[in-house]
Amino acid sequence: MKNLRKNLLLAAAALSLGACAHTAMMTSERQAAPASAHYVDPAWFADSDFPPPPAPDSMEQAADVAGVLAWQNKRTEEDCARARRTADEEYYDYWGSTSPFGAAVPAEFSDLFSGLAGDFEAALEVMKDRFRRPRPFVTYEEVTPCVKKKSSYSYPSGHASASRVTAEVLSDLVPERSDEFFAKADEIAQDRVVGGAHYPADVEAGKKFGDLFHERLLLSEKYRADLEKAKALLKR
């Protein structure tokens, strides 16, 4: 797959949570995903408590597009090249030989990978359809992206949320590398504004959605069990 969200999540999903499953979140008061979901029920996000994007013609909206244009006016070709690269690169372009799995993600966990990616993609589409915010270049003709234009809605940013989830699951597995993982996630997220594909508020919402999705993952007994198996295959 060439989709960043799937490539990043498919490879990273099997890398964490088994050893440090945040037991404080796993109480009987929290409801796990229903049997119809692989790990997380995407429909749950339709009514979840989540802040909306700035209202059209509001001061917040004006500040948001100003943030896009500020980057547009100062970005260099090197900035644009990086933004295009982080939009399209796959997991091993990022981590290569430093991946906790070594040279390749074990094929045994393709079901885990596809299950997680499927839940994430569906949940993200629920959120985008819920708010239906147009991309900045759709609303403002003065915005000229230097990355590939996407036809999907803008809020929350899929790249920002996927990279956030990836950083979280990797950090659960290898906490001593947390700064490295989150720095990469923040670079991917910020490049969506640099390239003109998203507003700053989209990126911040993407990070919040990533946090929320990861929290729901931790409630899945099946997910925790599958990741416990993956621990045995880690490169030490």
Tens-place pLDDT, residues 8-25: 454 444 343 333 333 223
Residue 65 lies in a domain: yes
**H helix intervals, 89-220:** 91-94, 110-131, 136-139, 158-173, 178-194, 200-217
For the cut 90, the answer to whether the pLDDT of residue 110 exceeds it is no
For 107, counting Cβ atoms within 10 Å of its Cβ (0-12 exposed, 13-18 middle, 19+ buried), the class is exposed
What's the CATH code of the domain at 123?
A: 1.20.144.10
What residues contact residue 76 under an 8 Å CB cut-off, 6+ apart? none
**CA-derived radius of gyration, the chain:** 18
Residue 164 lies in a domain: yes
At 80, the pLDDT band (50, 70, 90 cuts) reads very high
d(CA 89, CA 77): 18
Domain count, the chain: 1
Domain around 132: 4-19+37-47+58-90+101-227
| SS3 state of residue 6 | helix
Residue 78 lies in a domain: yes
Residue 153 lies in a domain: yes
Residue 52 lies in a domain: no
At 107, the pLDDT band (50, 70, 90 cuts) reads low
Residue 29 lies in a domain: no
Residue 74 lies in a domain: yes
Please answer whether residues 165 and 7 qualify as being in contact, where contact means their C-beta atoms are separated by less than 8 angstroms.
Answer: no
High-pLDDT (> 70) share of the chain, %: 74
Give the residue-averaged pLDDT of 115-144: 95
What residues contact residue 173 under an 8 Å CB cut-off, 6+ apart? 15, 16, 17, 18, 19, 20, 100, 231, 234
Tens-place pLDDT, residues 154-186: 999 999 999 998 888 777 777 888 898 899 999
Residue 43 lies in a domain: yes
Tens-place pLDDT, residues 212-235: 999 999 999 988 887 777 777 666
Give the residue-averaged pLDDT of 68-79: 98
d(CA 19, CA 26): 14
